[in-house]
Amino acid sequence: MDLQLTPFGKEIVAGLTTGSITTVVTHPLDLVKIRLQLLATNSGHLGYGYVISSLKQNAKGNIRQLIKEAYRGLGINWFGNATAWALYFGLYRASKDLVYELQAQENSRHDDRLRRDAELSSWMYLSAGAISGVITSIATNPIWVIKTRMMSTSGQETNSYTSAADGIRRLVRDEGIGGLWRGLMPSLFGVSQGAIYFMIYDTLKHRFSSLSRDTEDPDRRKTLKNSETFVISSISKVVSVTAVYPFQLLKSNLQSFDAEKKQYTFRNLVRSISQAEGLPGFYKGLSANLLRAIPSTCITFLLYENVKSFI
């Protein structure tokens, strides 16, 4: 199917599609992950049981209410993920093209993007991912602040946000415009997660997969096999998420309702978590995150590779 989209446009469409579908499928696990992360400063060693029981308690035995609680904040989460994936994929494509143009010799340049990508080194993938991640993080940070506050509270709580619009209005009123960029510092450090992910993903994709770079072959394979996408995306996600997870946890806590009340800063939050639970506290909710992130990423990149080739 040829919609006459530019490579940048194709990346955006693929990102919007994959971000939308995976968010809906994995939202409840994302909610559990966030609530676990916010328990990191609690010295009571509360965990999964506490989060699940609180969801059941808020639902009061009503299945529809339980589903509603588990999907609280879905709208802002869907909007955030669809926007972030579209922006990230588009910027990553543009960044790889920029890096290629900077390093390629004038007489050796060509237009085939599969070959161009294959000629980049792992460090170039890392650089392109970092550039894309920084811009995406700055642009979407306000969405994640509202998302964190909605998903960390029950809709029945007195001071919880009733909607994303209500959250933005109250946040700006109570904390000023700067409140929309709470947690930006660990978020920027966490950019390395996406950069590491794409460095591993594209290195494995272009060095060890069945992709053919022979432009003379009319039957050459231009997309990964689904089994290859599954394996490569899983390996990339486990390594990248585990490497930078503490920054994700710090970001969630700095964006929470408690951040304003307890006057959290990056430094005193690190100290508080260290005192409450030590090093394991910085990895609270990691297993829930991996349980959500691995299938989510596999779905995302299976859709991404197939949607991109389809359009």
pLDDT mean over 196-213 = 82
Asked whether the beta carbons of 145 and 217 are under 8 A apart, the reply is: no
Angle in degrees, CA 79, 93, 25, rounded to 5? 35
For residues 109 and 162, what is the distance between their CA atoms, to the nearest angstrom? 54
pLDDT mean over 214-227 = 64
* Higher-scoring residue by pLDDT: 211, 130: 130
pLDDT in tens, 236-276: 999 999 999 998 898 888 888 887 777 888 888 899 889 88
SS3 state of residue 185: helix
Query: What ranges in the chain are assigned the alpha helix state H?
Result: 7-37, 48-59, 63-70, 74-103, 113-118, 122-151, 164-175, 184-189, 191-208, 226-254, 257-261, 266-277, 286-310
pLDDT in tens, 111-146: 777 778 888 888 899 999 999 999 999 999 999 999
Domain ranges in the chain are: 7-310
Determine the pLDDT at residue 43. 60
Determine the pLDDT at residue 1. 47
Determine the pLDDT at residue 108. 66
* Higher-scoring residue by pLDDT: 300, 199: 199
pLDDT mean over 97-123 = 78
Look up residue 274 and give its two tokens. Answer: 């260290």
Q: Is the dihedral of CA 35, 183, 259, 82 positive or negative?
A: negative
For residues 227 and 8, what is the distance between their CA atoms, to the nearest angstrom? 26
Look up residue 121 and give its two tokens. Answer: 């080194």
pLDDT mean over 18-27 = 82
pLDDT in tens, 62-90: 899 999 989 999 999 999 888 888 888 88
Give CA separation, 151 vs 125, 145, 290, in Å: 33, 10, 18
pLDDT in tens, 135-186: 999 999 999 999 999 998 887 788 889 899 999 999 999 999 998 999 888 8
Stated pTM of the model? 0.76
Please determine, for residue 223, whether its predicted confidence score (pLDDT) is greater than 80: no
pLDDT range class, residue 45, cuts 50, 70, 90: low
pLDDT in tens, 265-302: 888 889 988 988 888 889 988 887 888 788 878 887 88
Fold of 7-310: Mitochondrial carrier fold (1.50.40)
